[in-house]
Amino acid sequence: MIAIFYRKDGKLVVAQSERDLSKLRREDVLWIDLLSPSSEEKHTVDDFLGEEIQSRAQAEEIESSSRYSETENAIFANTNFLMPGPEDYSMEAVSFTFVDNCLTTLRDVPLRSFTELQRRIVAKPQMYPSGYTVFVSIMDQRVDLDADMIELMSKEIAQYSKRINQQEDINEDFLLDINQLQENTMIVRENIIDKQRLIQNMIKSDKYPPELQARFSVILQDITSLINHANFSFERLEYLQETVLGLINLDQNNIMKIFTLVSVLLMPPTLVASFYGMNVPLPFQDKGWAWLSLFVFMLILVGVVLYIFRRKKML
């Protein structure tokens, strides 16, 4: 699928066929958006730009040279966009190619930031004079969405903290949920840092319009704030994880304490019972009231042990 945004007679026109490129000049094209393109669409765009658009495999490379590179006529930039799921997040690679003032994007899945921006461009085309402006707007919207995800995670962390304070369902599943939230926080932070590197490289280039410097600077400030917030959220999750582990250890210690107490309480009666269970003559064993006296004596021993435990504040 392809969407071509270009100007004709001072008006913005949107075309959805690669055949229209043969009728257009590159300086009239604002943005070419490729969504899971066919090989024919991709080759047609390559010929129109005079540069080969990076493949998905290249867009997913993690080396810095693959994430951003420049040639004499073009800029190639790659980053990942997060897709929130029921439990975790997935990252989708997006490739940006700049040739002159024309922006070409390549992606495999629909993205909300792209859809919303396309509507804005159609509604207010005068606000987007070049492909670089489109790119800045995409980054701006994407950072806003990342901020929303971090805010949602902060609310989840607050809920987990409240459950810990109220000691509700503190078990292994609860600990696994916190671990999953930690993993999501690391993924979001990694994704934000990737965009930070991309924008910093873009600022260093002599190809982008200097008038966008202020907008890039604002986005970088927002990204720095999000990184700090993500770091704080991760530290808070570590604190919650340690608290849960401490509570689980306390519960286990209490259980062991009960078993130990029962064992100690039964030791003196067991010792007496073992003596009178031996097949040897013992005092009072031929008396009818011997069993009752032994039973009372065992209860007295249990009471003495309990008294000692309470006196030592071990209960």
The domain limits of the chain are 2-248, 253-311
pLDDT, tens digit (0-9, with 9 covering 90-100), for 54-65: 766 665 565 555
Q: Is 279 exposed, middle or buried (0-12, 13-18, 19+ CB in 10 A)?
A: exposed
Residue 17, pLDDT above cutoff 70 = yes
What's the pTM value of the predicted model, to 2 decimals?
A: 0.72
Note the pLDDT of residue 61: 61
CATH number of 253-311: 1.20.58
Residue 121, pLDDT above cutoff 80 = yes
Note the pLDDT of residue 236: 85
What one-character-per-residue DSSP string does 269-298 give?
HHHHHHHHTSSS--TTTTSTTHHHHHHHHH
Place 277 in a pLDDT band, splitting at 50, 70 and 90.
low
Nearest-angstrom CA–CA distance, 106 and 285: 96
Q: Average pLDDT of 158-169? A: 77
Which of 124-138, 248-262, 294-308 holds the top average pLDDT?
124-138
Nearest-angstrom CA–CA distance, 243 and 166: 13
Q: Which residue has the tokens 């067991």?
A: 270
Strand partners, 34: 2, 106
pLDDT, mean over the chain? 80
pLDDT, tens digit (0-9, with 9 covering 90-100), for 170-185: 777 777 887 888 888 8
Strand partners, 97: 76, 104
CATH H-level superfamily of 2-248 = CorA soluble domain-like (3.30.460.20)
69's tokens: 């590179």
